[in-house]
Amino acid sequence: MEIKKQNGLRGTLAVPGDKSISHRAVMFGALAKGTTRISHFLEGADCLSTISCFQKMGIEIERKESEVLVHGKGLHGLRAPEGILDVGNSGTTTRLISGILAGQKFCSQLDGDASIRTRPMDRIILPLTAMGADIRSKKENGCAPLLISGRPLHGIHYSSPVSSAQVKSCVLLAGMYADSPTSVTEPFLSRNHTEIMLKYFGAAVTSEGTAASICPEPELEAREITVPGDISSAAYFIAAGLLTPDSEILLKNVGINPTRAGILKISRMMGADITLLNENHHGEPTADILVRTSALKGTVIEGADIPTLIDEIPILAVMAAFAEGTTIIRDAQELKVKESDRIAVMAENLKRMGADVQTTEDGMIIHGGKPLQGAVIDPHLDHRVAMSFAVAGTVCPGRMDILNWDCVKISYPDFYKDLYHLI
């Protein structure tokens, strides 16, 4: 994929449905009684992995255009899968499903692609084991493949060392099969879609500060769910609109849940002209986001903001490289265990463009405003890295050549089509 410098990105776009919310809608729909109707579902490869896992466990799931119907069978309605559950590239599928599988009356095995086989699963093995689960890393390296032998679980109060919605959700989902309430506390609040949606399905979930808890054996009932646009996908067009001269982009109906909206806060700190229109605060909050070209300056990204923008750090690093002054990203060591080591891979590719980037133990220091040019980019099969450099390609001179560009299908199959729609 070759991307060339552009002027004047203009137009209106409805980005695809939120990936985190799409996963959860299928999972909770499968565990609810009755038919859950999901509209604006994200048809990315990750969410399709979740669908296929539940189909293998006997749940009928129909896909009709952008609507998905999940014919749920209740909390105890899953059946033993034949063969391995294939999670593909999806950490969310792996970690959330493990919490559900730990409490079943059958054994299962989870496996995925080369990237998933390097991602840390001890972070869920530890709390699930404390709940009485039998979950093992087949190769005893703390990674997938995972062997799970379902059994009765006990409620725990888990103090997680990482701010991770996947860990929190895994433990809360296992808590539905436990003999007493379960709670999870994390250092900083991570995305709270599980808490919001499980409550909507009828579970007794409470949240206070960075703690969330759940009562066992909820009777989940089927619901209608409209998935908001994914702010993590919108982030590429926010950056493209800010960085490309003479641009104005309207992004329709994007999720702006505060646990996800760090990109808006940090962009504004960098000097971004962003206006929210048609805000709606029922359930998952949404808004239309209007972005206009802005001169950006460097900033510091750290602490409690990190979980609210964890997937947007690659595109924020691109914005920082084009901004005037220095941007410091710290407290972001989680980036090393994403689909790729995003600290190393972003630094490697930004340097190929001529950027001044230093990696640190828990982030990056980017001295912005250096003359940048197109380069051959290796995203290491990481969808968010590929999209970040596609945006960079619309801003700088010279040809941007992105290897394995189609890895964007994980979260945004029509990404390049939508980008060209604005040109």
Residues within window 110-149 making contact with ligand S3P, judged by CB under 6 A: none
Please identify which residue in 53, 87, 309, 310 interacts with ligand S3P, judged by CB under 6 A: 310
Please give the size of the binding site for ligand S3P, defined by CB under 6 A. Answer: 11
Please identify which residue in 13, 153, 165, 350 interacts with ligand S3P, judged by CB under 6 A: 165
> Which residue type, as a one-letter code, is found at position 54?
F
Interacting span for ligand S3P (CB under 6 A) from 4-12, 36-44, 162-170, 287-295? 162-170
Q: Is residue 92 close enough to count as binding ligand S3P by CB under 6 A?
A: yes
For residues 54 and 27, the answer to whether their CB atoms sit within 8 Å is yes
Give phi and psi for 93, each to the nearest 5: -60, -50
For residues 315 and 349, the answer to whether their CB atoms sit within 8 Å is no
Q: Is residue 93 close enough to count as binding ligand S3P by CB under 6 A?
A: no
Report the greatest alpha carbon distance in the chain: 61
How far apart are the C-alpha atoms of 240 and 393, rounded to whole Å? Answer: 10
How far apart are the C-alpha atoms of 106 and 80, rounded to whole Å? Answer: 6
Closest approach of ligand S3P to the CB of residue 12, in Å: 26
Query: Pattern 183-202, binding to ligand S3P, x per CB under 6 A?
Result: -------xx-----------
Q: Is residue 160 close enough to count as binding ligand S3P by CB under 6 A?
A: no
Active site residue 331: no
Q: Is residue 164 close enough to count as binding ligand S3P by CB under 6 A?
A: yes
Retrieve residue 412's tokens: 């945004």
Q: Is residue 388 close enough to count as binding ligand S3P by CB under 6 A?
A: no
Please identify which residue in 36, 50, 166, 340 interacts with ligand S3P, judged by CB under 6 A: 166
Is the CB of 146 or the CB of 310 nearer to ligand S3P? 310
Is the CB of 102 or the CB of 375 nearer to ligand S3P? 102
Among residues 46, 230, 288, 311, the one annotated as catalytic is 311
Q: Is residue 20 close enough to count as binding ligand S3P by CB under 6 A?
A: yes
Q: Is residue 247 close enough to count as binding ligand S3P by CB under 6 A?
A: no
Please identify which residue in 230, 288, 311, 378 interacts with ligand S3P, judged by CB under 6 A: 311
Pairing of strands 146-149, 134-137: antiparallel
Interaction site with ligand S3P (CB under 6 A):
20, 92, 164-166, 169, 190-191, 310-311, 334
Residues involved in catalysis: 311
